[in-house]
Structure 1
Amino acid sequence: MRKTSRRTFLALAGTAALSACGSNTVQSGNPPPSTAYSAGVTRPKPKPVDLSQWYHPYPESGVQEAVTRYAAAYQKSKVAVQWNPDDYETKLAAALQAGPVPDVFEGQVTVDRVRQNLLVPLDDIIGSVKGDFTAAALAAQIVDGKTYGIPQALDTQVLFYRKSFLQEAGVQPPQTLDELVDVARRLSKDGVKGLFAGNDAGAAALAGPLLWAAGLDYVKDGKSVGFDDPRAATAFTKLRDLNGSLLLGTSTDWADPIPFIDGLTAMQWTWLWNLPKIQDTMEDDFGILAFPRLDAAGAPSVPVSGLSAMVHSKSLNPNAAKDFVKWLWLERTDFQQEFATKFGFHLPARLSVLDKIAPANDAARLVKETGRAAGPLWTPMANTVLVEAVGRIVRDGADPVAETKAAIEAVKAELGRLSA
């Protein structure tokens, strides 16, 4: 049976598989009667309702025990944690449509789920603390002006660079795409390549950051293609200019830090959660950067993604489910900090909690200043179209303008489907 890793959910720039979650046999009860007084007689205290909460199988040891402990600490409802070790996405897709119903589940907010009325809006519980989330993380939860998810923790991708390699080459960390091209070329020597961003030459990992570098986006105004602009093709061409300086054909892909650790590349674009492994090997001989801007009109960026807690609209106890989500992911900041930092290197979703994490200072700054997310309107189909177009430009030498225009038309059709 196919196991689901965190990486399955967190694809390029926060774009995740839109099918998720699993099945559960927990039965949800009817809402309990409220305590009331009649003829001077006090009715029995209402019994806690039963809720089911589903998780995908985190690879880090200790997560399952932690989330079970969190659920046990909640007093207002009996919360049964369902751990789904196999094919979480397929199980969730089936359960959301046909049951058995998960009251609370993790995943990512998607337009399709909202359009199918599968999610409960959570604006009433997130309320005044909305400002305690990064703009990118919060925007990924909102469809048609309503908030459907509460971020649990954040993951981001950054550009790791080897300080000693740059010092020996007499170059500074790149701040623009032209500088990235030049630095990668000068670092490519003695069996070392300047940059590793994937065996596909960076098409999948860097399509989004290239758009942001040009001051563009996947979608704009919540309805139209965000890269219908000549600057998109210009940015994609810069990635093609890296040919000859890119590490290709490795046994692992960009999400694994081994090429960087083994000294095969002087720079690598990869997940921040690899920081402890890199630090154990290199100590302080590395730094992290946001992806460089194209020019003064563009912007540096780090993609921000993560899983969120959602409430199923078919829950028999939606208000109790919302109360639990509010308690765990908005009120219990101690649990939120532990969940994000104790079981692998992730970032707390709340800014007030993030500020307490000393080892994350540089990463926290990058997320606050340059964090970006694809958002619910960016579907896997749209992402595939763009990545394939960038791949043809970078690897095959295809015309950047023609490929970008074709991708724009295909994404327009997909956005039209979502708005129909």
Structure 2
Amino acid sequence: MSASSNSNWSRRSLFRAAAGMAAAGTLAACGSNNGRGGGSSSGDHLVQYFHAYGEAGTEQAIKKYAKAYPKADVSTQWITGSDFESKLFATLLTANAPDLFEFHPQIQLVKSGQVADLSDIIDPVKSDFNQADIASHTVDGKIYGVRMIDDPQFFFYRKSMLEKAKVEVPQTLDELIEAAAKLTTGKVKGAFLGNDLHAVINPLIWSSGADTLTADNRPAFNTDGVAEGLTKMRKLFTSGSLLLGAPADYWDPSAINQGLCAIQFCGMWAMPAMQQALGDDLGVFPFPKAADAGKPSVYNGGWSMFVNAKGKNVDAAKEYVKWLWIEQKKYQEDWALSYGFHIPPRSSIAASATKLQSGLPAEGVKLFDQYGHFDNIGWTQAMITATENVFADCVRKNGDPKASLDTAEKTVSAELKKLFG
């Protein structure tokens, strides 16, 4: 789901930034000497933290689910604006820490003992989850976090604008650059990839035939293909056909809805709002092949529920997570499909999701199944920042891609050594 419409920041990088800084540093010091104990299921009041989703009805839905829970009083902190991550991680250091919170898989949260092992509640239904979601939340065979929604991200385009400009749907990054130039007119830019471009860093890596890390946790992004992709991104950035400085970032559909661009990188969550504004004048395509060794890619974002292992109601919090995100399939389906479109991580729910079975949503699901890439739990904020620096150096400035990638690889290797030895 999208972030609150009144903030202008990269959901993924900022949230994970907080996770990285907090879990790697100060949170690690918040150990068992906090005087609060842990694991008691006697607490009958639980607090959960959510960031403010942009879709109407989401806050009411989460509170409705909580109110229906018979075993505890569950209150929701619905945090608006761009301060969710700072409030969450500052509060985790205090006696007022939430019992459970939504976030993304981050290995530092596991290594610092901040999040509880949820294997016992997930194992009985593990086979009903998308197995890539299970893998992205697993460390040493234990599962930390229940996936609530999967959020594929790809390009949306105005069919009428492409037809008028006699432009075919781009199959390669070169074709996207050419298309953006032809689609740029007086008031309309050819494409919008977000204000800071951070949303397309991993897709560029994957579409260039590389990956963030190898299966045995070594850097995998420093390749000739990625260097080639960066050179092309620089060409697009300087072409004059890219929308820069839009009123809202990539996660908000207003740029394409208001006719500011012909093609926009965004998430499946925005499909209903786009369809309401533009009707059937919409198509989707993955991040296109960026180098000879590559193939198209789709980044799967999304949100997961975690239990604060250092809280005073660990067992009670786990029980609530089990009730809502494992047992209450009706609520899980409502959350995924009634407030924007998201793919339910439970295969049984996804299979019966009629809203995703035809038209544009079905095309999005197909792209997700065919080209989807999931978060790597070992890809930390320091690593994310390293690749953001590569984009800043090579795409925004005119830095040498290979030199920038070499620098990033050194940073990532040092982080991996700290994490995995």
- Residues 277-329 of structure 1 show CA distances to partners (whole Å, capped at 9, x for unaligned) of 22122111110111112356323222112221112223445344323212211
Equivalence for 1:354 = 350
In structure 2, do the counterparts of structure 1 residues 197 and 374 end up closer, same or farther at CA, with 3 Å as the change threshold? Answer: same
In structure 2, do the counterparts of structure 1 residues 94 and 62 end up closer, same or farther at CA, with 3 Å as the change threshold? Answer: same
Is 2:116 the partner of 1:120? yes
Residue pair 2:230, 2:391 contacting (<8 A) in 1 also: yes
Equivalence for 2:75 = 81
Residue pair 1:10, 1:305 contacting (<8 A) in 2 also: no
Summarize the alignment of residues 47-196 of structure 1 with structure 2, pairs less than 5 Å apart: 49-75=44-70, 77-85=71-79, 87-196=83-192
TM-score, normalised to structure 2, is: 0.83
For structure 2, list consecutive stretches of 5 or more residues without a partner in the other structure. Answer: 24-35
Residue pair 1:152, 1:308 contacting (<8 A) in 2 also: yes
Summarize the alignment of residues 19-418 of structure 1 with structure 2, pairs less than 5 Å apart: 30-31=40-41, 49-75=44-70, 77-85=71-79, 87-200=83-196, 202=197, 204-242=198-236, 243-244=238-239, 245-295=241-291, 297-355=293-351, 356-359=353-356, 360-418=361-419
In structure 2, do the counterparts of structure 1 residues 313 and 225 end up closer, same or farther at CA, with 3 Å as the change threshold? Answer: same
- Residues 178-202 of structure 1 show CA distances to partners (whole Å, capped at 9, x for unaligned) of 22223223323455332111344x3
78-87 or 330-339, which deviates more: 78-87
> How many Å separate the matches in 1 of 2:46 and 2:10?
24
Equivalence for 2:26 = none
RMSD: 3.1
> How many Å separate the matches in 2 of 1:120 and 1:163?
47
> How many Å separate the matches in 1 of 2:69 and 2:380?
35
Residue pair 1:213, 1:301 contacting (<8 A) in 2 also: yes
In structure 2, do the counterparts of structure 1 residues 258 and 30 end up closer, same or farther at CA, with 3 Å as the change threshold? Answer: closer
Equivalence for 1:45 = none
> How many Å separate the matches in 2 of 1:63 and 1:250?
25
| Per-residue deviation, 1:381 | 2.5
In structure 2, do the counterparts of structure 1 residues 141 and 232 end up closer, same or farther at CA, with 3 Å as the change threshold? Answer: same
For structure 1, list consecutive stretches of 5 or more residues without a partner in the other structure. Answer: 33-47
The DSSP-based 3-state class of the residue aligned with 1:97 is: coil
> How many Å separate the matches in 1 of 2:49 and 2:416?
30
> How many Å separate the matches in 1 of 2:174 and 2:140?
38
In structure 2, do the counterparts of structure 1 residues 229 and 9 end up closer, same or farther at CA, with 3 Å as the change threshold? Answer: closer
- Residues 321-351 of structure 1 show CA distances to partners (whole Å, capped at 9, x for unaligned) of 3232122112211101111222333332323
> How many Å separate the matches in 1 of 2:350 and 2:189?
34
Residue pair 2:273, 2:340 contacting (<8 A) in 1 also: no
Amino acid at match of 1:324: Y
Residue pair 1:10, 1:306 contacting (<8 A) in 2 also: no
In structure 2, do the counterparts of structure 1 residues 302 and 357 end up closer, same or farther at CA, with 3 Å as the change threshold? Answer: farther
191-200 or 118-127, which deviates more: 191-200
> How many Å separate the matches in 1 of 2:218 and 2:312?
37
In structure 2, do the counterparts of structure 1 residues 129 and 138 end up closer, same or farther at CA, with 3 Å as the change threshold? Answer: same
60-69 or 370-379, which deviates more: 60-69
> How many Å separate the matches in 1 of 2:178 and 2:349?
38
> How many Å separate the matches in 2 of 1:326 and 1:6?
32
TM-score, normalised to structure 1, is: 0.83
Aligned length: 396
Structure whose alpha-carbon radius of gyration is higher: 1
> How many Å separate the matches in 2 of 1:391 and 1:9?
15
Identity %: 36
